[in-house]
């Protein structure tokens, strides 16, 4: 009885293997018949297939366009953001460079005439008379800052002029370019004395220098310290032209100011001690 029970599973396994083998052999030997398409099927396929192809192509193109459009929009926005950042950084760099240049100019101004006991009022140019080649400048300091009439005005390069009009918060500077502003001056090398007046084209004339004075081109002209206005020794400019006429006792000397009036931005007003007749020599880039 036990032997018969053990043989039944083996018999079932054998029968299953035989059935599976017959089934596989039948599938392998089956000959699929080739079916001819009917006229209706042929027409339907010929009509529908191009439409299907167009739909698939349109779908692919639409998907590609959408992906590329989204990508381009993203890139465009990124480029716009980067451009804004670049412009912001360029503006910041420009501002820092401008601050550095201004600091250098201010340091040069503050080093001016350290040995002279004058109070120095630092001011900025806020306007000028454009009809007269910058013969008159307006600054942003006035009476409230201690500025008085006829106070001398200078830069680190040299003499600018004097205060001729003042209000509580502003003052006007009559520059050495104006013919009405006469400066007692001397040629540093020869000590030849003359009167400097504004001329034209940002030039000055040094008058009343005798013909016997052996002045030369590029000689430095400085303030003489007379007249109780300008301290002695402030650089005014250099001789750029000399005319010795065949008659008369003087020579005509053209002086190019050491201050570039077309680029002047900051300056110093000297106040105090003027009434004491202080004639200490002021070295300004001589």
Report pLDDT digits (tens) over 35-87.
565 665 666 666 656 666 666 666 666 666 656 666 676 677 777 777 777 77
- Let me know the angle formed at the C-alpha of 132 by 234 and 237, rounded to the nearest 5 degrees: 20
Give the model confidence (pLDDT) of 89-130 as tens digits.
766 676 666 666 666 666 666 666 565 667 889 999 998 875
How is the chain split into domains, by residue range?
57-110, 119-276
Better-predicted residue by pLDDT, 61 or 30: 61
Is the four-CA dihedral 210, 213, 218, 220 of positive or negative sign? negative
SS3 126: strand
**Bridge partner list, 123:** 267
State the burial class of residue 135 (Cβ atoms within 10 Å of its Cβ: 0-12, 13-18, 19+): buried
- Matching CATH number, 119-276, of 2.160.20.10, 1.10.1740.10, 3.30.565.10, 2.40.10.340: 2.40.10.340
Which H or E run includes 161? Answer: strand 159-166
**Do residues 254 and 100 make contact, with C-beta atoms less than 8 angstroms apart?**
no
| Percentage of the chain modeled with pLDDT above 70 | 57
Stated length of the chain: 286
> Rounded to 5 degrees, what angle do the CA atoms 159, 160, 164 make?
125
- Look at residue 89 and give its three-state secondary structure: helix
Residues 6+ apart with CB under 8 A from 106: 122, 266
pTM: 0.60
């Amino acid at each position: 009885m036990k032997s018969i029970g053990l043989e039944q599973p083996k018999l079932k396994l054998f029968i299953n293997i035989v059935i599976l083998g017959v089934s596989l052999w039948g599938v392998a030997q089956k000959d699929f018949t080739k079916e001819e398409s009917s006229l209706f099927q042929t027409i339907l396929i010929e009509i529908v297939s191009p439409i299907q192809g167009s739909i698939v192509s349109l779908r692919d193109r639409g998907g590609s366009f959408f992906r590329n459009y989204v990508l381009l929009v993203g890139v465009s926005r990124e480029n716009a953001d980067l451009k804004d950042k670049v412009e912001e950084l360029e503006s910041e760099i420009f501002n820092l460079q401008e601050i550095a240049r201004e600091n250098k100019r201010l340091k040069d101004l503050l080093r001016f005439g350290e040995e002279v006991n004058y109070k120095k009022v630092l001011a900025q140019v806020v306007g000028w008379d454009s009809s007269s080649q910058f013969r008159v400048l307006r600054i942003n300091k006035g009476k409230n800052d201690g500025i008085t009439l006829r106070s001398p005005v200078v830069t680190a390069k040299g003499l600018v002029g004097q205060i001729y009009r003042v209000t509580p918060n502003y003052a006007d500077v009559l520059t050495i370019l104006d013919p009405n502003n006469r400066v007692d001056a001397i040629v540093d090398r020869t000590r030849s004395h003359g009167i400097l007046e504004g001329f034209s084209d940002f030039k000055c004339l040094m008058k009343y220098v005798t013909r016997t004075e052996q002045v030369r081109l590029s000689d430095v002209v400085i303030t003489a310290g007379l007249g109780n206005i300008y301290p002695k020794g402030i650089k005014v400019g250099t001789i750029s032209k000399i005319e010795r006429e065949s008659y008369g006792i003087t020579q005509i000397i053209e002086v190019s100011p050491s201050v570039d009036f077309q680029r002047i931005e900051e300056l110093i007003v000297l106040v105090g001690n003027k009434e004491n007749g202080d004639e200490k020599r002021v070295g300004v880039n001589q």
